[in-house]
Amino acid sequence: MKILITPEEISKRVAELGAELTEFYRGRDLTAVIILNGALFFGADLIRRIELPLQIDSFAASSYAHDRSTGILTVRAPQKLPVRDRHVLLIDDILDTGLSMQCAVTHFRELGAASVRSCVLMNKHIPEKCLASADWTGFHIPDHYVVGYGLDSEERYRNLPAIAVLDD
């Protein structure tokens, strides 16, 4: 495994994103929605850095199976809190094809959210495949399969404190 982003780099960038989001959402009714399971660590760290009153929810959805995108979004558990007239911040681990993000944004808009924006830990630039973009991005990375800090390969490696590229 090769370390791509260290725990120290992650911590510093999460603090910066938290400060940006605090300023952007000041005075607004914010609901932070963590997309599970991959964004669990990032989301937990990020919402602690947003210095505003907010609601926290989760949305379990994925388009991946066996380390590959299936092209189909599967929702395992929808959010619990109502979002009508609230500003929704979707927090996800990685923007790859953009399918999960595109579907989640549409879902929350249809529920009547005042606005829907997104913050991702990492953005893989794959222009020919990207269906959505993120409003805030922690890191731009090359097109490698990465694990750690919540991201997995067959449910392994989520607990690594860094982001790493798996050896082929």
Residue 115 half-sphere exposure toward CB, CA atoms < 13 A: 10
* CA-wise closest residue to 32 among 13, 8, 58: 58
- Distance between CA atoms of residues 76 and 143, nearest Å: 27
Token pair 């929702």 is found at 75
Give the active site residue among 45, 92, 93, 96. 96
Catalytic residue at 92? no
Taking CA atoms, 12 is separated from 18, 68, 121, 146, 166, in Å, by: 10, 30, 12, 19, 24
Active site residues: 96
